[in-house]
Structure 1
């Protein structure tokens, strides 16, 4: 019962989530002398990276673009660090800034008490009271499991990418990968490299770009070009470079959207795929591109072109979504449609009554770092000695 909850006054912000976004927020606050408390429902920091990613994962962007504020990724790491290297960086980051989250604390709800002028955050058997609340649970809090006709009838192995580890378990089997974003492409490549027969569902149009252009990170080069040229001209350059490096994707059954990759990202949030080798496998026929699924059968799937194929395993590379709406009792800052801040980047980080978000920019770790620094600076302007020594009668 709520009356039995232990109530705890937190003088600084409460941060929900101990992933990169939460760690960045805590570090930025600490740098300016503001204490904070991180609540994390899992038993470790960076739980998405540690528990729900595949073994072959590497950073999609060059390490310079993935560093958190005030601490560089070690120079000895490769340009695109592995999953384990990035996890070790995050652990070193938390240790460097003496960040010690409270693990195993799943937030049941958080709401603002206008009468008292503070946030109440209920987690497990405690209720935390604070002036500022930072939502850092991120864009990838819960797996998206699509409702496809007949999916419950499929008798083979069915899993989401959040539980996929490596292709060794699928050697020699016929596997269908549903979803062609970065994860779908990379898992298809991993499966193929481990001797599986892979079919990849490409239902919609999408942009595939080389990970590097002219020896530089495609994303970093794009950011540099955008300082001098309009988005459409940079998009034209990216598409020309992609055609020269990867070839015409239309010939292998992958159609590009009418608008360019950067413009599409800015208007819809849809991220282009950065190729790490899957395109060669698709062009050689080792990874087969198939159209959308009409329905699943007990042994496989029927596609929109009427073809029926048997599969032993189906992997859903259908992404993740925000879970903010399930616990945050607030109807103005976050959209009821998708659990993202209503205002787009760069005005996405601040709500009302001391509510903030970090890591909802659709711009990866770089966007989260920008958020964290803005949030910390804003809270620092409000922080004073009275706050540090305020005691509530709880």
Structure 2
């Protein structure tokens, strides 16, 4: 890699350029290759696809490790919700012997092997505070005082950059322990305690099951209608069956099939306070990005009464909460399984490509990966790792075309200095 330091006025070729960049915290550095913001799975995928085409890249990562969300902000029992074949990054399958649903630790090991395979070495502890297009290049500023100038900017900070803390009346006066799932690790610390889990997505349901398995007494707040599907049907992944059916049938037909099978296998979930949305699970996912819950055993605990279901919280008290149905209950702790959001609007000075409202590309999948002036996005498809991998491949192909054209121009005899 070659970098240009404006303050020194010379180009530096150094295989240890990451150490160089870290040391030059007061420099403005012109980077010839694409700059990728975020070293999660999406950022790694783009870097690998570029490397496969012979194009280097520079990844800036705010944490001290790759995949920081997975390594630092996920609970211990987490497994991939979808089969591994739908969660591979481009160019590299999972190792032989991995289970159908890899554990958190196995997935992290896979990502570390992926980074090693493609010699991806992010610059860590670089928190981007702004990125703005100026004079034909993107100027990327970090909290640590470094500026990077680049022709191509890939936003790979993803859908889950910042934890969402809901504004619930009285939460500040509640005396018990309150944690977001990003800080929850295991139900072991809650043994024998009454715990209220706020949020009924896959994470909230799994946290409830984990609490049950560790001897806690969990309750879950179901604020809106939710689709619960069996994780597998006929010995195969429900998601995989759905993907296959969608190749041949309309989405509404596939949804009817899923709902009939769910009713046969799981029963009427509305009896337990789990109403289903009006739109079917696949159509709802397509329209809003809301993922159906793939049940891994939580529903049985709800049916048996080991997990209580409550509606929306009206307000918190000092020792518990009152709900909109009039019930009041005391709890020793609260776990907020209220999800994450994009942080792009806080640092990217672009409102044409990304929405200021939610931090997602304005154009929906599959057209939200490319903006103008060398700006790209990856990991914002609401389609998990599969969507990120598809976008990473597109981005690398698009940049490669520009890179090859630029290389030809630089190597053209007319562009060489005369002797």
Q: Secondary structure at the match of 2:56?
A: coil
Unpaired runs of 5+ residues, structure 2, are 1-5, 8-24, 412-419
Residue 289 of structure 2 is aligned to residue 269 of structure 1: yes
Residue 197 of structure 2 is aligned to residue 174 of structure 1: no
Q: Match for 1:46 among 51, 67, 71?
A: 67
Farther-moved stretch of structure 1 (123-132 vs 103-112): 123-132
Q: Secondary structure at the match of 1:57?
A: coil
For 1:166 and 1:273, locate their aligned partners in 2 and report how far apart those are by CA, in whole Å.
Answer: 20
Q: What's the RMSD between the two structures over aligned residues?
A: 1.4
Return the offset for 1:125.
2.1
Q: Secondary structure at the match of 2:376?
A: strand
Farther-moved stretch of structure 1 (224-233 vs 210-219): 210-219
Structure 2 counterparts to residues 1-394 of structure 1, below 5 A? 5-113=26-134, 116-123=135-142, 124-384=144-404, 386=406
For 1:125 and 1:178, locate their aligned partners in 2 and report how far apart those are by CA, in whole Å.
Answer: 39
Higher gyration radius (CA): 2
| Partners of 1:299 and 1:311 within 8 A in 2 | yes
Q: Secondary structure at the match of 2:359?
A: coil
Partner of 2:12: none
| Partners of 1:11 and 1:387 within 8 A in 2 | no
For 2:159 and 2:225, locate their aligned partners in 1 and report how far apart those are by CA, in whole Å.
Answer: 22
TM-score by length of 2: 0.91
Q: Secondary structure at the match of 1:384?
A: helix
| Partners of 1:110 and 1:122 within 8 A in 2 | yes
For 1:252 and 1:385, locate their aligned partners in 2 and report how far apart those are by CA, in whole Å.
Answer: 61
Cα deviation digits, residues 329-386 of structure 1 (max 9, x gap): 1110000110000000000100010000000000000000001000001111111374
Farther-moved stretch of structure 1 (237-246 vs 93-102): 237-246
Q: Secondary structure at the match of 2:365?
A: coil
Q: Secondary structure at the match of 1:383?
A: helix
| Partners of 1:212 and 1:218 within 8 A in 2 | yes
Q: 1:335 to 1:385 in 2, by over 3 A?
A: closer
Q: Secondary structure at the match of 1:93?
A: helix
Return the offset for 1:387.
5.2
Q: Secondary structure at the match of 1:220?
A: helix
Partner of 2:15: none
Farther-moved stretch of structure 1 (355-364 vs 262-271): 262-271
Return the offset for 1:305.
1.2
Larger relative contact order (C-alpha < 8 A, sep ≥ 6)?
1
Return the offset for 1:5.
3.6
Q: Secondary structure at the match of 1:84?
A: helix
Give the count of matched residue pairs: 387
Return the offset for 1:82.
0.2
Cα deviation digits, residues 224-262 of structure 1 (max 9, x gap): 100010000000111111111111101111100111001
| Partners of 1:281 and 1:287 within 8 A in 2 | yes
